[in-house]
Amino acid sequence: MSDQLRSRSNRKRAAGPVARHGRLKKSNPFKTIGKFVAAALAVVLVSGVSVAAVATYDVAASVQPSVHLENEKTQGPIPQIGAIAGGVNLLVVGSDSRAGQDEVFGGEDETGDLNDVTMLLHISQDHSNASVISFPRDMYVPIPECPDPEGGTFGAMSNQKINTTLTYGGLACTVKTVEALTGLSIPFAAEVQFSGVMAMSTAVGGVPVCVAEPIEDEYTNTFLGVGEHTLEGYDALQFLRTRHGIGDGSDLTRISNQQVFLSSLVRTVKSAETLADPIKLYSLAKAATGNMTLSDSLNNVDRMVSIALALKDIPLNEVVFLQVPTGSTEGGVDPLQPAFDEMFAAIAADQPVQLGGTVGNGATIDPNAPVTADPAPATDPSADPSAPATPDAPVTVLPDSVTGQTAGEYTCSKGRTLDDQ
């Protein structure tokens, strides 16, 4: 790691938010409940730290200090409560920092501040589909010149691992790097801590995961036998962090293991058991906002709820988890061309994408998956029945080298025992 990166990793975070108190307006309880439900439905992402971007007025005080992104000046006025107009690109970064999380790790030494998980959420312009794209932490990329959050700038670097961008220039630098890499504009971003996954998995009463082959990992103390396990809190966090106990022990197979968890999390959040439980909804929104650092553009309750509303009616089979295609190189991986550019050309063109390949090497299709179907969308009573139907957007079938799954697919983790390590 360069001297610049070492210097950056040793800096301490700024102090926490300053509470401001004022008189609150009386609210309509039905409107408040509606915002509440929309907020919880936004939990579609996360990571070696898992999470989503959303809150209600009751939990707004738990939102962390925000981060300014260079392209935020292009954002229009804050929308009223209702689905955000057009599409959304939102980057979720999972930090490996343990600062202020002694209760999680029992006083272990702090690590640096690397983005071990980098995920891009893309919601289509018509809100009919969404993609969640994972970038491997060991992927080598050019890092552009980035502003130093503490003043000044850091010079560009031609070839560094993507997980150093958070250390190098903070959340804004990670966003700028992914923008340069993909050609997309990303006006929204969130950084999630380890504690976020624990709080959110507990808030929904645990996340069921299927294990097809035993998982044994002494590094994260994760030992799970074949079958279904409902994970929450520290156990859920360690399941997402495990690498040695999954597939071939690489970060690439860890991503597919994370997708097993995330698809189940989405199904759990959208289930009747969660939506009908106000305590779960409140806990979920509180857990999300209390463990995230948001970009300025996202650090507003109305805007967060408007993004949630854009997500809430997307069918499970139209929420696609993808891992960017990569090829091996010394010490890590490189973007695999032309598949990498083809995938992001489809995203930039706002075309629905369909996997041409299979689930990643850390997962397999659950042979005992229930046979279910997404309910048909409700008919809009105000729609003109004589109006011509809107043609569906053309679907882009991605190259076989792009692996992943939909939120509607039931998958199992492929474990690895100590004997194979």
- pLDDT higher than 70, residue 215: yes
Query: Going by DSSP bridges, is the β-strand pair 188-192/88-95 parallel, antiparallel, or unpaired?
Result: parallel
Q: What is the mean pLDDT of residues 269-291?
A: 78
C-alpha triplet 170, 51, 184: angle, nearest 5°: 55
Rounded-to-integer distance, Cα 89 and Cα 347, Å: 10
The pLDDT of residue 90 is 95
Read off the pLDDT of residues 338-365 as tens digits, 9 standing for 90 and up. Answer: 999 999 999 999 999 999 989 999 999 9
The residue type found at 110 is E
Return the minimum-mean-pLDDT range out of 33-47, 166-180, 292-306, 371-385: 33-47
- pLDDT higher than 70, residue 303: yes
Domain boundaries, the chain: 29-372+393-420
Higher pLDDT residue, 41 or 109? 109
Q: What is the mean pLDDT of residues 412-417?
A: 97
C-alpha triplet 208, 54, 307: angle, nearest 5°: 105
Question: Would you place residue 15 in the very low, low, confident or very high pLDDT band (cuts 50, 70, 90)?
Answer: very low
The pLDDT of residue 114 is 87
Residue with tokens 């959110």: 200
Read off the pLDDT of residues 56-89 as tens digits, 9 standing for 90 and up. Answer: 333 444 556 778 787 765 556 654 567 889 999 9
Residue from 201, 182, 186, 170 nearest 135 by CA:
182
Rounded-to-integer distance, Cα 154 and Cα 292, Å: 24
Q: What is the mean pLDDT of residues 235-257?
A: 94
Helices (H), 72-229: 102-105, 165-182, 194-203
The pLDDT of residue 53 is 32
Rounded-to-integer distance, Cα 169 and Cα 117, Å: 16
The pLDDT of residue 195 is 78
First-to-last CA distance in the chain?
27
The pLDDT of residue 75 is 59
Cis-peptide, bond into residue 352, ω within 30° of zero: no
Higher pLDDT residue, 28 or 76? 76
Question: Would you place residue 111 in the very low, low, confident or very high pLDDT band (cuts 50, 70, 90)?
Answer: low
Number of helical H runs and strand E runs in the chain? 11, 21
- pLDDT higher than 90, residue 27: no
The pLDDT of residue 41 is 37
Percent of the chain with pLDDT over 70: 73
The pLDDT of residue 248 is 94
CB 395 within 8 A of CB 353: yes
Rounded-to-integer distance, Cα 142 and Cα 161, Å: 8
Counting Cβ atoms within 10 Å, is residue 58 exposed (0-12), middle (13-18) or buried (19+)?
middle
Rounded-to-integer distance, Cα 334 and Cα 138, Å: 8
Question: Would you place residue 109 in the very low, low, confident or very high pLDDT band (cuts 50, 70, 90)?
Answer: very low
Q: What is the mean pLDDT of residues 159-180?
A: 94
Residue with tokens 């799970």: 224
Q: Which two tokens stand for residue 296?
A: 């300025």
The pLDDT of residue 20 is 37
Task: Select 29-372+393-420's CATH number: 3.30.565.10, 3.30.530.20, 1.10.760.10, 3.40.630.190.
Answer: 3.40.630.190
pTM of the predicted protein model? 0.78
Residue from 201, 198, 244 nearest 221 by CA:
244
C-alpha triplet 116, 45, 15: angle, nearest 5°: 60
Q: What is the mean pLDDT of residues 41-45?
A: 38
The pLDDT of residue 391 is 54
User: Chain-wide mean pLDDT for the chain?
Assistant: 78
- pLDDT higher than 90, residue 181: yes
